[in-house]
Structure 1
Amino acid sequence: MVAPDGPYAVEERTTAQTIADQLREEIIQGAIRPGQQINESLLAGQLNISRGPLREALQRLCQEGILISRRNYGVFVPVVKAHDLREIYEVRESVESAAASRLLDGSQKQIKDTCEVLRKIVGEMAKQVAASDWQATARLDAQFHSALVAGTGNSRFIRIYKTIAAESRMCVVGLEVSFPGMADLVQEHQKILHLLEAGDRNGLLEAVRRHIQNTVEDLAVT
């Protein structure tokens, strides 16, 4: 029996995911600003697509918290408030700590492979900090933590973290800041890497906690 939706629905879902990914990145980078309304008709015309996959993409992003839907008003990019910041980073701390602990329970190869990825990111981060390129540094910071979580190989950790990582990057864009402690970022990430390599569970979990708390404190005072 042929599924009611047929092949066309599969294509639409793929298109919707592509659109969602594109819009998510534009929002994270600040191309679509906090508080801005998404003009569905205009956007569909710009992307040369029908409204079906666009609406599905917007719904996906609303479910992720990247957009918010206001009944009778439309879909908007949320404005990040102080309480949002603290909630987002509280969840990040929980997920990253659990992932770090899970990673240490894995194989030595798993840890080694993850450390190799993290080392390359830290090296590139040092270059961007020296060049005072905040945007590049922020992207590398996000890559470091995503790579740490990805190292577990746990698809659910990775899926959960993808959403919360996007929201945390929105905090930086939405609050229009650069960390006052930008110069300390490389050292903090290097410490996390070193403790992971050493297999120091307590030290690693404390370093992750302290790093995230430092970020919250830096963002909260700006």
Structure 2
Amino acid sequence: MTRLLAPLNAPQTSVVIADQLRERVLDGSYRPGEQLSEANLAAQLAVSRGPVREALQRLAQEGLLVSHRNRGVFVVELSPGDIAEIYAAREAVEQAAARTVFEGNRDLKAAAVARLGMIVAEMPALIAANDWKNLAKQDLKFHATLVEATGNSRLVRIYATLAAESRICMVHLENAYHRPQALTEEHQRLVDLLDTGPWEALAAAIRTHMATAVEDLTMLMAERDRLLDSESGPRTTPTSHGA
């Protein structure tokens, strides 16, 4: 006889905790390399340590935290090598997504083009306001929407982790855009090419877009590190954790 599980009336505590911690990692409240204490978090949240431990394990599996034996759990630190890997993976996923949408159902492609165009239209106001944190979210929303337009749940799931790592790169670099005024134009070009093609031009534009992001983020990371070195002395370069 099959034994049925009892229904839950609310989300699991560990899931709720993981959601809160994830957002604080992604919005920069917890800095790269910062240690997250299981005991302190449990005290702040007024819960036992069990669900906190489960939440930390979940975020470690997502690549947002890293656990060091006998030392604890830390917010991941991304190196230039990590940035290159993240954007290489993003390029592969977005190329696949773009081709699926480009060659797919005309009505679905038209709907995707319209949604993406609306996202691009909101970028100039964020740039004018120097609102880099929300601009980064809008940027990633554009790319996530492209992937979601495929209707492929596995691509969407893969991309979610890459987008989270990209957001960590951006949020800790203050202005993650070396050429902010070109951002709207670059994304609008992707929309136009998705709409009318040709595919070869769209594929090349995605490739260039990712390469430019790697170049800009790597340069800004180097500038930030030089500034930190001048203020506090030489630092130890973070070890690449892999994408």
- Counterparts of 1:134 and 1:84 in 2: how far apart (Å)? 21
Match of 2:16 in 1: 18
Residue 11 to residue 39, structure 1, CA distance change in 2 (3 Å): farther
Over the aligned positions, Cα root-mean-square deviation in angstroms equals: 1.8
Change (3 A) 1:201 1:17: farther
Bigger shift: residues 77-86 or 146-155: 77-86
Of 48, 61, 65, 1:67 maps to 65
**Where do residues 140-151 of structure 1 align in structure 2 (5 Å cutoff)?**
140-151=138-149
Residue 195 of structure 1 corresponds to: 193
Which runs of 5 or more residues in structure 2 are unaligned? 221-243
Between the aligned partners of 1:75 and 1:210, the Cα distance in structure 2 is 36
Residue number in structure 2 paired with 1:7? 6
Q: Distance in 2 between matches of 1:60 and 1:134?
A: 28
Deviations 1:112-147 (A, max 9, x none): 111121111111112111222211211100100000
TM-score after normalising by structure 1: 0.92
Amino acid of the structure 2 residue aligned with 1:213:
A
Alignment map for 1:46-61 (pairs within 5 Å): 46-61=44-59
**Number of equivalences:** 219
- Report matched runs for 1:47-126 at 5 Å: 47-126=45-124
Identity, % of aligned positions: 46
Deviations along 1:76-119, whole A, 9 cap, x unmatched? 00111111111111111111111111112321111111112111
Per the alignment, in what secondary structure is the counterpart of residue 64 of structure 2?
coil
The whole-number CA distance in structure 2 between the counterparts of 1:188 and 1:148 is 15
Contact map agreement 2:32 2:76 (CA 8 A) in 1: yes
Tell me which of 147, 157, 160 is aligned to 1:159. Answer: 157
Contact 1:103–1:111 (CA<8 Å) still a contact in 2?
yes
- Equivalent of 2:127, from 129, 135, 155? 129
1:124 alignment partner AA: E
Is the CA contact (8 Å cut-off) linking 2:136 and 2:171 kept in structure 1? no
